[in-house]
């Protein structure tokens, strides 16, 4: 249980006060806040944790409301679990195609889904009652204090599970998926599976919230699937804190409480709400819950000091990584042409070549970040060229990235992360770029440890001296082709390498 006692008190106080001290109207407000809290908590999974702008949460809320209204007269309170399924199953069905889309395309597709649900609610009159909606079902559903207990028990349980899940390793993985999806894939994190689970679980919470809202209001109309409920969901989560376990609860309390508190201002409460939202976005992007944490001086986990691991333990797994006749074309550019090479365990192979010769592309193709047009990549006898990046990582190939050129510390952390996956083979892209002499010596010693531990390493770098000191073999690429391969001395002496990469054409070796 990782929720701070401060937040635990704030979480359990509203239902207790409502049950024992508030009149029915006050209880209604607390139930409504709980309902919005449930919807927002589900929304935090996709929007907050995975950073995807999902605009279908309001529609899934509406589906839950309609399912409860339609089934309650027949099955009574069991309409609540049915409503959860009524939102979760469509969410699961559309998740496959929707979650393959990137950023704004995903947002547009979820918007289209929301419009479709809204159109159905308006036009499928026989089922939904059209614009008039459905009524007369509420007596079959929990009401008053029972509804309050159901809503807040679910919300409290949801917040505690959310806090427990995302506080530790899972939260770090979600952060990686959100901020560096390619890196996450090379660490074996299956982003598609994560997005699927988050979207469906978020939808299930929206369905439950919709059903409870139907029970509270006694009426379900197309408004329940409309865009205003979606905007409310988005703003309350941003206002409260998109990732904070209490974000949705704080946002929901404000969304319900502000209009009541500022009732005398009439329509102006909307202005106050808009100003508050804008202020939070500008000055407290972590949301009000995060701001409160900051103000009360809550301790954050100290950042882990990055650095190369002291020791590298042997790992089980495949013995040979074989690249056989791999080609890759980007439009008119032949990035790789019939490239073959072998990396064994306990061996460091250096990949050299001039800029644009295909070194990073080769690593990407081995990693599953790019797909080869032709050729085979095998770990022992297992073909892996068709696997997605996270599956290649799980098969035993780790990766460090070239993009971290500016941060010397970030590079060490990147290397440490790749090694920590327990991969038998490591693909290192320019680990020495931009680092000083001391770090270079540490890197050389670390590479030796990798060899001793029985890792197979394929390393790309422009520092030919470092590679010559460290590598067992060098392979030189030029315009996507292997032009030389052998011991460092042999490759450095090769006239084509001297001409194309070392710029020493005509100078004695």
Ligand X SMILES: Nc1ncnc2c1ncn2[C@@H]1O[C@H](COP(=O)(O)OP(=O)(O)OP(=O)(O)O)[C@@H](O)[C@H]1O
Q: For Cα atoms 327, 345, 376, give the angle at the middle one, nearest 5 degrees.
A: 20
Element of type H or E holding 460: strand 456-460
Per CB under 6 A, contacts with ligand X among 328-357 are 330, 333, 335, 353, 355-357
Task: State the minimum distance, in angstroms, from the CB of residue 460 to ligand X.
Answer: 7
- Counting residues that bind ligand X (by CB under 6 A) gives 11
- Is the distance from CB of 484 to CB of 497 less than 8 angstroms? yes
If binding is defined by CB under 6 A, does position 78 make contact with ligand X?
no
Task: State the minimum distance, in angstroms, from the CB of residue 342 to ligand X.
Answer: 20
* Residue 482 in tokens: 């292997």
- Is the distance from CB of 385 to CB of 327 less than 8 angstroms? no
Q: What sign has the CA pseudo-torsion 200, 224, 141, 69?
A: negative
Task: State the minimum distance, in angstroms, from the CB of residue 358 to ligand X.
Answer: 4
Task: State the minimum distance, in angstroms, from the CB of residue 333 to ligand X.
Answer: 5
Task: State the minimum distance, in angstroms, from the CB of residue 476 to ligand X.
Answer: 11
Q: Can you tell me the distance from the alpha carbon of 85 to that of 91, in angstroms, rounded to the nearest whole number?
A: 9
By beta-carbon proximity to ligand X, the closer residue of 86 and 183 is 183
Per CB under 6 A, contacts with ligand X among 164-193 are none
If binding is defined by CB under 6 A, does position 110 make contact with ligand X?
no
Question: For the chain, how are helix, strand and coil distributed in percent, rounded to 5?
Answer: 60, 15, 25
If binding is defined by CB under 6 A, does position 195 make contact with ligand X?
no
Neighbours of 479 (CB within 10 A): 16
Element of type H or E holding 89: helix 79-98
Q: Can you tell me the distance from the alpha carbon of 405 to that of 281, in angstroms, rounded to the nearest whole number?
A: 31
By beta-carbon proximity to ligand X, the closer residue of 109 and 339 is 339
Query: Taking Cα atoms as reference points, which of 489, 453, 488, 486 lies closest to residue 471?
Result: 488
If binding is defined by CB under 6 A, does position 399 make contact with ligand X?
no
Task: State the minimum distance, in angstroms, from the CB of residue 392 to ligand X.
Answer: 17
Neighbours of 297 (CB within 10 A): 6
By beta-carbon proximity to ligand X, the closer residue of 19 and 499 is 499
If binding is defined by CB under 6 A, does position 54 make contact with ligand X?
no
Query: Taking Cα atoms as reference points, which of 181, 203, 180 lies closest to residue 192?
Result: 181
Task: State the minimum distance, in angstroms, from the CB of residue 337 to ligand X.
Answer: 11
Q: For tokens 């996709």, what's the residue?
A: 46
Region near ligand X per CB under 6 A, out of 50-58, 72-80, 92-100, 327-335:
327-335
By beta-carbon proximity to ligand X, the closer residue of 128 and 360 is 360
Per CB under 6 A, contacts with ligand X among 139-168 are none
- Rounded to the nearest angstrom, the gap between the alpha carbon of residue 133 and the centroid of all alpha carbons in its chain is 37
Pairing label, strands 320-330, 333-344: antiparallel
Per CB under 6 A, contacts with ligand X among 8-37 are none
Task: State the minimum distance, in angstroms, from the CB of residue 70 to ligand X.
Answer: 50
Task: State the minimum distance, in angstroms, from the CB of residue 330 to ligand X.
Answer: 3
If binding is defined by CB under 6 A, does position 213 make contact with ligand X?
no
If binding is defined by CB under 6 A, does position 102 make contact with ligand X?
no
If binding is defined by CB under 6 A, does position 500 make contact with ligand X?
no
Contact pattern for ligand X over residues 353 through 382, marking x by CB under 6 A: x-xxxxxxx---------------------
Task: State the minimum distance, in angstroms, from the CB of residue 470 to ligand X.
Answer: 18
By beta-carbon proximity to ligand X, the closer residue of 105 and 330 is 330
By beta-carbon proximity to ligand X, the closer residue of 322 and 334 is 334
By beta-carbon proximity to ligand X, the closer residue of 116 and 337 is 337
Q: Can you tell me the distance from the alpha carbon of 73 to that of 458, in angstroms, rounded to the nearest whole number?
A: 66
Ramachandran angles phi, psi of 346, nearest 5°: 75, 20
Task: State the minimum distance, in angstroms, from the CB of residue 372 to ligand X.
Answer: 13
Task: Tell me how long the chain is.
Answer: 509
Q: Can you tell me the distance from the alpha carbon of 185 to that of 418, in angstroms, rounded to the nearest whole number?
A: 11
DSSP line for 231-260: HHHHHHHHHH-SSSTTHHHHHHHHHHHHHH
By beta-carbon proximity to ligand X, the closer residue of 23 and 332 is 332
By beta-carbon proximity to ligand X, the closer residue of 57 and 357 is 357
Pairing label, strands 481-486, 473-478: antiparallel
Q: What is the DSSP letter of 47?
A: I
By beta-carbon proximity to ligand X, the closer residue of 78 and 330 is 330
By beta-carbon proximity to ligand X, the closer residue of 146 and 405 is 405
Chain contacts with ligand X (rule: CB under 6 A) = 330, 333, 335, 353, 355-361
């Amino acid at each position: 249980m990782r929720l701070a006692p401060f937040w635990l008190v704030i979480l359990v106080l509203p239902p207790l006060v409502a049950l024992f001290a508030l009149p029915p109207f006050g209880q209604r407000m607390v139930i409504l806040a709980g309902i919005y809290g449930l919807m927002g908590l589900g929304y935090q999974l996709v929007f907050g944790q995975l950073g995807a702008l999902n605009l279908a949460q309001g529609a899934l809320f509406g589906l839950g409301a309609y399912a409860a209204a339609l089934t309650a007269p027949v099955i009574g309170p069991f309409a609540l679990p049915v409503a959860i399924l009524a939102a979760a199953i469509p969410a699961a069905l559309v998740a496959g195609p929707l979650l393959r889309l990137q950023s704004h395309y995903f947002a547009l597709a979820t918007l289209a889904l929301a419009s479709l649900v809204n159109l159905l609610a308006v036009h499928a009159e026989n089922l939904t009652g059209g614009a008039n909606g459905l009524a007369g079902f509420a007596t079959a559903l929990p009401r008053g204090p029972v509804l309050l207990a159901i809503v807040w028990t679910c919300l409290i349980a949801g917040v505690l599970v959310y806090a427990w899940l995302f506080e530790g390793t899972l939260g770090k993985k979600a952060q990686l998926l959100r901020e560096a999806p390619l890196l996450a894939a090379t660490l074996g994190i299956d982003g598609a599976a994560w997005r699927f689970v988050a979207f469906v679980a978020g939808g299930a919470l929206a369905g439950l919230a919709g059903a409870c809202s139907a029970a509270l209001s006694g009426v379900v109309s197309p408004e329940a699937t409309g865009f205003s409920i979606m905007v409310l969901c988005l703003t309350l989560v941003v206002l409260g804190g998109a990732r904070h376990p209490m974000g949705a609860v704080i946002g929901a309390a404000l969304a319900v409480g502000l209009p009541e508190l500022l009732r005398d201002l009439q329509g102006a409460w909307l202005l106050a709400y808009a100003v508050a939202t804008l202020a939070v976005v500008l000055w407290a992007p972590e949301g009000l819950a995060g701001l409160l944490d900051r103000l009360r001086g809550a301790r954050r986990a100290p950042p882990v000091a990055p650095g190369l691991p002291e020791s590298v333990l042997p790992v089980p797994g495949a013995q040979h990584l074989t690249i056989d006749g791999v080609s890759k074309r980007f439009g008119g550019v032949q990035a790789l042409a019939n490239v073959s090479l072998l990396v064994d365990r306990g061996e460091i192979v250096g990949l050299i070549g001039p800029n644009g010769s295909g070194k990073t592309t080769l690593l990407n193709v081995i990693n599953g970040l790019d797909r080869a047009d032709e050729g085979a990549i095998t770990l022992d006898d297992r073909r892996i060229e068709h696997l997605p990046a996270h599956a290649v990582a799980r098969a035993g190939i780790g990766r460090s990235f070239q993009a971290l050129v500016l941060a010397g510390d970030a590079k060490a952390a990147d290397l440490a992360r790749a090694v920590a996956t327990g991969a038998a083979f490591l693909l290192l892209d320019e680990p020495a770029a931009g680092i000083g002499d001391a770090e270079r010596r540490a890197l050389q010693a670390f590479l030796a440890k990798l060899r001793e531990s029985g890792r197979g390493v394929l390393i790309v770098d422009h520092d030919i001296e470092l590679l010559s000191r460290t590598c067992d073999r060098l392979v030189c690429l030029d315009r996507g082709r292997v032009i030389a391969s052998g011991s460092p001395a042999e490759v450095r002496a090769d006239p084509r390498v001297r001409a194309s990469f070392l710029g020493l054409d005509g100078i004695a070796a």
